[in-house]
């Protein structure tokens, strides 16, 4: 198997600087297993929404459209491909069993960008917090987007508080994200081509 070319950045692509025009679009986040729900319920288990505690920065997702649901099974194992892509960078495709493998055990859940950007959050740890969605293309995936949390335009990871408090903030935020997550992928909106290609 070769790495899907449709995931790789192309020379005529540009960074999507604003997600305001993408509010109707849908983000997908893979999970380590297809078992998503709390035992005996139809509620998504908050623990499935895994925040990386080592950087406390964001939640990694992909925007559906060119990126397809079946692409969640591609597991890149070579961390150098997770480096951010910059305009003009030439990227090479990852190689099967060297840089990526297939992981058919993965599951997924979805978010509407509009739901994320319009979440009304109470004070959390005495901070007023809002979410934003930011295009963060990587060398192996142009369609990578980050859900990030801000307080007065300062990212949570940069707040002048302890890492313990940052973790507590993110733990609270997870509950709100889980509440708007869904698993039915029918009828999702996709990127317009002029959103990501240069003139």
Residue 186 has pLDDT above 80, yes or no: no
Residue 184 has pLDDT above 60, yes or no: yes
DSSP collapsed to 3 states, 90-113: CCCCCCECCCEEECCCCEEEEEEH
| Residue 72 counted as domain residue | yes
Number of domains in the chain: 1
Name, in order, each residue with C-beta under 8 angstroms of 168's C-beta and a sequence gap of 6 or more.
125
| Residue 38 counted as domain residue | yes
Q: What is the dihedral of CA 146, 156, 170, 33, to 10 degrees?
A: 20
| Residue 158 counted as domain residue | yes
126: containing domain:
5-192
- Counting residues of the chain whose pLDDT is more than 70, the rounded percentage is 90
| Residue 198 counted as domain residue | no
| Residue 199 counted as domain residue | no
pLDDT in tens, 188-198: 666 666 677 76
Instruction: For residues 184 and 44, give the distance between their C-alpha atoms in angstroms, rounded to a whole number.
Output: 13
pLDDT in tens, 91-132: 899 999 999 999 999 999 899 999 999 999 999 989 999 999
Higher pLDDT, 19 or 166: 166
| Residue 197 counted as domain residue | no
| Residue 128 counted as domain residue | yes
pLDDT in tens, 41-88: 877 887 777 665 455 578 899 999 899 999 999 999 999 999 999 988
Residue 19 has pLDDT above 90, yes or no: no
Q: For the CA atoms of the chain, what is the radius of gyration?
A: 17
Biggest CA-to-CA distance, the chain:
52
DSSP 32: S
| Residue 156 counted as domain residue | yes
């Amino acid at each position: 198997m070769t790495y899907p070319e449709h995931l790789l950045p192309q020379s005529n692509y540009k960074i999507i600087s604003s997600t305001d025009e993408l509010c109707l679009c849908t983000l997908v986040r893979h999970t380590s297993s297809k078992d998503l729900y709390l035992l005996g319920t139809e509620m998504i288990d908050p623990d499935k929404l895994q925040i990386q505690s080592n950087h406390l920065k964001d939640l990694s997702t992909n925007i559906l459209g060119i990126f397809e649901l079946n692409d969640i099974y591609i597991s890149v194992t070579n961390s150098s491909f997770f480096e951010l892509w910059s305009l003009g960078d030439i990227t090479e495709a990852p190689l099967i069993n060297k840089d990526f493998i297939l992981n058919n055990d993965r599951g997924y859940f979805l978010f509407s960008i509009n739901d994320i950007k319009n979440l009304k959050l109470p004070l959390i740890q005495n901070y007023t917090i809002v979410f934003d969605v930011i295009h963060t293309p990587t060398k192996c995936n142009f369609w990578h987007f980050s859900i990030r949390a801000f307080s007065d335009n300062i990212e949570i990871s940069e707040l002048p508080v302890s890492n313990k408090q940052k973790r507590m903030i993110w733990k609270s935020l997870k509950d709100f994200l889980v509440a708007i997550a869904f698993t039915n992928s029918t009828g999702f909106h996709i990127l317009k081509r002029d959103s990501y290609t240069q003139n």
